[in-house]
């Protein structure tokens, strides 16, 4: 089979499982491009308070004043004049799947979301283009004071809590795309877990793009109060189009004293999506936060989940998985910022490239002057499946305190012909053999996931691996 | 009669260097053969060629297994037909447990035989693996370890034998060519062969170690010299070899040639 046919195979598989599209059915779509009028329109349609509208417009100015970053992947193909910044899918958000518009519901059925919700989730949300169309959390959790809503409902119904935290973890000035999100944010989750409440099963949100040339700018705010526990999972897919789309989310998380949280992303965008996301968690005394960040799809991903360790005893972990196939650039990694003494962090990055894909580990370890007795390890391993793929490592380390323990390891390996031959000699096809080596490479990370997600991950890897060798 | 592996006038080159120069050998299901010969005679080349290693180029001859032309088949297709090779140096696959690997291998075979097959269920597989471990007197914790990763030489051999036991091939080739291999490893392999051999399994044990008869009882012994089978016979051939070395054969071969 030729390379082209293999590629065709991948496309067909993605198309069948995730890349299908519905006919456009939005209730409102702003014109293409971005200016103050569009920002005002978004704010108006969401019936926001004046302060929010003002913040949006301010953020637009910041966005416009910042240059497109040139230190990473090439973003010159991204043109804001070609993009719809706001596409409203439905009049209102449903709390029962029966109330979700029929064709949208069919999409999520096909993606298996309602089924997953019943089986192993504590709650689920679903976003379609610019807004959430569904949000629901188990009654017993609601009774314990857990809030799991769309970000718009968060603002409307919990304005004080919202305002206290909005833009405090990731300010609009942080980077160009954080500013963009602050200007045009729409959709995303608002989560509050009261002190001591342990949510055993994950909460999940699923993000779906349908319209071509769309921008999706979800904003998620999570507050895990003292001693509480939360695992939040997001998944994302989109139809395959010939035109590019933009996904630029901002995730702000506050993990208070003694609390634990974990945020898992399984990003599987189609390969026409620019994925430029800012995710940050502020972790307080003796609390911990973990990012499990798997980037399998997209055209370009720039994503460096970060942990800010604010008080003694705080711990942060970042597990990053990137898979770059043909025409894909995965610029991923993580940042650990030690502000307080006696804090610990770990960054483990595993990247895989094939068919000329490029992956980079880009990471920052920063230790402030007063942060004594910090321990941090960074491990980044790359696996190349062929000669034409590339992997780079950019580990930035800024340490301003002498009393720290830092470990850093990086490896690059190739799937060996002898490994493939060995596995083939047991009856596995060449593709299966490659997939097995890759799954093994990722195993230290996938075993950290709940079973349902590690199965999903393995399946996605398999999909990515189909026809990996021409 | 069961399946047979037929090697007919096989010529093989590696990087344009001829290594095998007309090998003829047939192994029937149920038979145990030993292939002996000095270093560099082409024994390992034969094993790898049978399994379809891409580095070995067949310039003439045939390989037939169970009536199928192996030269038309990829390595994995050969394996799924019921051919197995125990590696001299099995490679490590970090992150993949022995159990997970074996289950995938079984499923690959089941699916090639029946595209509708859902593969083997976890309980059925578990029972199969544990039964085979019992048979081979292996530690049960083995299944949970990453395949060959950090295994000692003996453990790697055990893992190969376990794979052979679970995969239940019709013909197995044991590549134990390296003279540097320790005796314990050879013992593990031999015990495995002795335990597993029977009417359903044909074995070709390739070894450099002349006292192989201390460990296994082949019905047939072949001696390879310079890329050809120079002599075939019964177990007495190995005894003769143990006493006289290879020189008599070389002389005989040269004498024939002139």
Could you tell me the CATH number of the domain that includes residue B252?
A: 3.40.50.300
Least confident of A211-215, A316-320, A462-466, B51-55: A462-466
Q: Is residue B165 part of a domain?
A: no
Can you tell me the mean pLDDT for A157-180?
A: 97
**Burial classification of residue A34, based on how many CB atoms lie within 10 Å of its CB (0-12 exposed, 13-18 middle, 19 or more buried):** buried
Q: What is the pLDDT of residue B181?
A: 63
B157 conformational bin, left if phi > 0, alpha if psi -120 to 50, beta if neither: alpha
Q: Are residues B121 and B199 in the same domain?
A: no
Is B242 domain-assigned?
yes
pLDDT of residue A4: 39
Cα gap B20→B46, rounded to integer Å: 7
Smallest CA-to-CA distance from A467 within A418, A424, A434 is with A434
Residue A428 and residue B53: Cβ atoms within 8 Å?
Answer: no
Taking residue B208's Cβ as centre, other Cβ atoms within 10 Å add up to: 19
Q: CA torsion angle for B224, B229, B234, B238 (degrees, to 10)?
A: -20
Q: Does the beta-carbon distance from B79 to A416 stay under 8 Å?
A: no
Looking at the fold, whether B49 and B122 belong to one and the same domain comes out as no
Query: Number of structural domains, chain B?
Result: 2
Residues B72 and B179 in one domain: yes
Residues B18/B227, Cβ–Cβ less than 8 Å:
yes
Least confident interval from A160-164, A316-320, A381-385, A412-416: A412-416
- Per-residue three-class SS string for chain A: CCHHHHHHHHHHHHHHHHHCCCCCCCCEECCECCCHHHHHHHHHHCCCCHHHHHHHHHHHHHHHHCCCCCCCCCCCCCCHHHCECCEECCCCCECCHHHCCHHHHHHHHHCCHHHHHHHHCCEEEEEECCEEEEEEECHHHHHCCCEEEEHHHHHHHCHHHHHHHCCCCCCCCCCHHHHHHHHHCCCCEEEEECCCCECCCCEEEEEECCCCCEEECCEEEEEECCCCEEEEEEEEECCCCCCCEEECCEEEEEECCCCEEEEEEEECCCCCEEEEEEEEEEECCCCEEEEEEEECCCCEEEECCEEEECCCCCEEEEEEEEEECCCCEEEEEEEEEECCCCCEEEEEEEEEECCCCEEEEEEEEEECCCCCCEEEEEEEEEEECCCCCEEEEEEEEEECCCCEEEEEEEEEEECCHHHHHHHHCCCCCHHHHHHHHHHHHHHHHHCCCCHHHHHHHHHHHHHHHCCCCC
Query: B102 and B129 share a domain?
Result: yes
Share of chain B above pLDDT 70, in %: 96
Most confident of the following: A24-38, A97-111, A305-319: A305-319
Same domain, B185 and B227: yes
Distance CA A300, CA A296 (A): 11
Q: Give the CA count within 13 Å in the CB-facing half-sphere of A64.
A: 13
Average per-residue pLDDT for chain A? 90
Note whether A385 and A371 are within 8 A (CB).
Answer: no
Inform me whether the pLDDT recorded for A467 exceeds 60.
no
Lowest mean pLDDT among A10-19, A367-376, B9-18, B146-155: A10-19
Q: What is the pLDDT of residue B198?
A: 92
Least confident range from A379-393, A397-411, B58-72, B241-255: namely B241-255
Instruction: Enumerate the residues of chain A whose CB falls inside 8 A of the CB of residue B105.
Output: 426-428
User: Which pLDDT belongs to residue A16?
Assistant: 74
Share of residues in chain B with pLDDT > 90 (%):
69
- Compute φ and ψ for A7, nearest 5 degrees: -60, -45
With beta carbons under 8 A apart, name residues in chain B contacting A462: none
**Are B104 and B39 part of one and the same domain?**
no
Question: What is the CB neighbour count within 10 angstroms for residue A4?
Answer: 10
pLDDT, tens digit, 9 for 90 and up, residues B39-64: 889 999 999 999 999 999 999 999 99
Dihedral Cα B210, B213, B219, B224, nearest 10 deg: -10
Closest Cα in chain A to B145: A440
The answer to whether the CB of A52 falls within 8 A of the CB of A45 is: no
CA of residue A339 relative to chain centroid, distance: 24
Determine the average pLDDT of the residues in B19-44.
94
Residues B204 and B249 in one domain: yes
| Mean pLDDT value of segment A48-72 | 97
Q: Does A428 touch chain B (CB under 8 A)?
A: yes
Domain layout of chain A by residue ranges: 25-416
pLDDT at A235 over 80: yes
- Does pLDDT of A44 surpass 90? yes
Q: How far apart are CA A467 and CA A98, in angstroms?
A: 40
> What CA–CA distance (Å, rounded) separates B128 from B168?
11
Are B25 and B146 members of one domain?
no
| pLDDT of res. A81 | 92
How far from A58 is each of A65, A88, A161, A186, CA to CA, in Å? Answer: 11, 23, 21, 16
Whether B185 and B200 map to the same domain: the answer is: yes
Report the distance separating Cα A188 and Cα B235, nearest Å.
76
Q: Does A1 touch chain B (CB under 8 A)?
A: no
Q: Round the CA-based radius of gyration of chain B to a whole number and report it.
A: 18
- Flag the least confident range among A318-322, A339-343, B5-9, B211-215: B211-215
Best A1, A413, A425 residue to mutate vs chain B (most B CBs within 10 Å) = A425
Q: Is residue B251 part of a domain?
A: yes
pLDDT, residue A466, reads 66
Residue A52 structure tokens: 């929010």
List CB contacts of B191: < 8 A, sequence separation 6 or more: B136, B215
Average pLDDT of span B166-189: 82
Give the residue numbers spanning the domain of B111. Answer: 91-150
Interface test with A, best of B65, B91, B167 (most A CBs within 10 A): B91
- The complex scores an ipTM of 0.95
| Cβ–Cβ < 8 Å for A285, A313 | yes
pLDDT of amino acid A2: 36
Distances (CA, A) of B253 to A87, B21, B25, B83, B249: 84, 14, 18, 32, 6
Q: What's the mean pLDDT in B1-18?
A: 92
- The answer to whether residue B241 sits within a structural domain is yes
pLDDT at B118 > cutoff 60: yes
Rounded Cα–Cα distance for residues A320 and A269 (Å): 16
Q: Is the dihedral of CA A206, A131, A223, A141 positive or negative?
A: negative
List CB contacts (< 8 A) between B84 and chain A: 425-426
Query: Does residue A470 register a pLDDT over 60?
Result: no
**Pair (B62, B25) in one structural domain:** yes
Determine, yes or no, domain membership for B157.
no
The answer on B61 and B124 residing in a single domain is no
Looking at the fold, whether B85 and B175 belong to one and the same domain comes out as yes
For residues B73-91, give the mean pLDDT: 95
Distance from CA of A437 to the nearest CA of B (A): 6
Cα three-residue angle A365-A442-B167, rounded to 5 degrees: 160
**A425 lies within 8 A of chain B by CB:** yes
Residues of B in contact with A425 (CB under 8 A): 51, 75-76, 78-79, 84-85, 87
User: Which of B103, B120, B150 is the C-terminal boundary of a domain?
Assistant: B150
Displacement of CA A107 from its chain's centroid (Å): 20
CB–CB of A421 and B112 under 8 A? no
């Amino acid at each position: 089979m030729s390379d082209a046919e293999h590629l065709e195979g991948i496309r067909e598989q993605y198309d069948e499982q995730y890349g299908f599209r519905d006919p456009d059915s939005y209730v409102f779509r702003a014109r293409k491009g971005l200016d103050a009028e569009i920002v005002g329109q978004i704010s108006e349609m969401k019936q926001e308070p004046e302060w929010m509208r003002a913040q949006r417009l301010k953020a637009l100015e910041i966005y416009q004043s910042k240059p497109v970053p040139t230190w990473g992947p090439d973003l010159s193909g991204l043109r804001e004049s070609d993009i719809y910044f706001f596409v409203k899918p439905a009049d209102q958000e449903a709390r029962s799947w029966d109330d979700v518009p029929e064709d949208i519901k069919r999409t999520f059925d096909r993606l298996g979301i309602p089924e997953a919700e019943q089986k192993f989730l504590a709650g689920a949300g679903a976003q379609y283009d610019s807004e959430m169309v569904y949000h629901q959390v188990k009654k017993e959790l609601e009774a314990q004071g857990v809030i799991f809503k769309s970000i718009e409902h968060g603002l409307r119904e919990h304005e004080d809590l919202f305002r206290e935290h909005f833009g405090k973890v990731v300010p609009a000035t942080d980077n160009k795309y954080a500013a963009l999100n602050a200007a045009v944010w729409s959709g995303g989750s608002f989560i509050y877990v009261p002190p001591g409440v342990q949510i055993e099963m994950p909460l999940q949100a699923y993000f779906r793009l349908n319209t071509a040339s769309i921008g999706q700018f979800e904003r998620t705010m999570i507050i895990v109060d003292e001693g509480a526990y939360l695992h939040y999972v997001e998944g994302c897919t989109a139809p395959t189009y010939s035109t590019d789309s933009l996904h630029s989310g901002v995730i702000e998380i506050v993990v208070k004293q003694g609390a634990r949280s974990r945020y898992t992303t399984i990003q599987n965008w189609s390969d026409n999506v620019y994925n430029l996301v800012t995710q940050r968690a502020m972790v307080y005394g003796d609390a911990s936060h973990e990012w499990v960040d798997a980037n399998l799809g997209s055209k370009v991903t720039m994503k460096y989940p970060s942990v800010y360790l604010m008080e003694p005893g705080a711990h942060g972990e970042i597990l990053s998985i990137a898979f770059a196939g043909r025409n894909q650039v995965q610029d991923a990694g993580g940042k650990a910022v030690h502000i307080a003494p006696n804090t610990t962090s770990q960054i483990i990055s595993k990247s895989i490239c094939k068919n000329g894909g490029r992956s980079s580990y880009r990471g920052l370890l920063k230790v402030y002057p007063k942060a004594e007795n910090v321990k941090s390890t960074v491990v980044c391993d790359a696996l190349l499946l062929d000669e034409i793929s590339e992997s780079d490592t950019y580990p930035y380390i800024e340490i301003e305190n002498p009393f720290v323990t830092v470990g850093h390891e990086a490896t690059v390996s190739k799937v060996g012909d002898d490994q493939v031959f060995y596995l083939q000699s047991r009856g596995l096809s060449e593709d299966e053999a490659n997939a097995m080596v890759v799954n093994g490479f990722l195993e230290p990370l996938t075993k950290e996931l709940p079973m349902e997600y590690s199965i999903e991950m393995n399946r996605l890897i398999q999909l990515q691996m189909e026809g990996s060798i021409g | 009669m069961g399946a047979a592996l037929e090697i007919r006038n096989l010529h093989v080159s590696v990087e344009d260097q001829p290594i095998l120069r007309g090998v003829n050998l047939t192994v029937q299901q149920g038979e145990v053969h030993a292939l002996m010969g000095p270093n560099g005679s082409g024994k390992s080349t034969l094993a790898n060629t049978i399994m379809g290693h891409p580095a070995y180029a067949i310039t003439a001859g045939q390989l037939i297994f169970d009536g199928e032309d192996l030269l038309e088949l990829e390595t994995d297709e050969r394996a799924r037909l019921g051919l197995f090779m125990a590696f001299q140096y099995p490679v490590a696959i970090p992150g993949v447990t022995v159990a997970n690997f074996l289950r995938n291998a079984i499923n690959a075979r089941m699916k090639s035989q029946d595209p509708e097959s859902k593969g083997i269920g976890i309980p059925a597989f578990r029972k199969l693996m544990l039964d085979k471990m019992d048979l081979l007197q292996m530690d049960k914790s083995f299944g949970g370890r990453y395949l060959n990763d950090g295994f000692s030489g003996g453990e790697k051999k055990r893992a190969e034998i376990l794979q052979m036991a679970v995969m239940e091939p019709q013909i197995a080739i044991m590549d134990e060519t390296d003279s540097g291999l320790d005796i314990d490893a050879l013992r593990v392999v031999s015990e495995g062969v002795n335990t597993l051999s029977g009417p359903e399994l044909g074995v070709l044990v390739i070894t450099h170690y002349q006292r192989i008869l201390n460990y296994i009882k082949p019905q047939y012994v072949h001696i390879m010299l310079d890329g050809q089978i120079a002599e075939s016979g019964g177990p007495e051939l190995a005894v003769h070899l143990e006493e006289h070395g290879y020189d008599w054969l070389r002389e005989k071969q040269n004498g024939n040639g002139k």
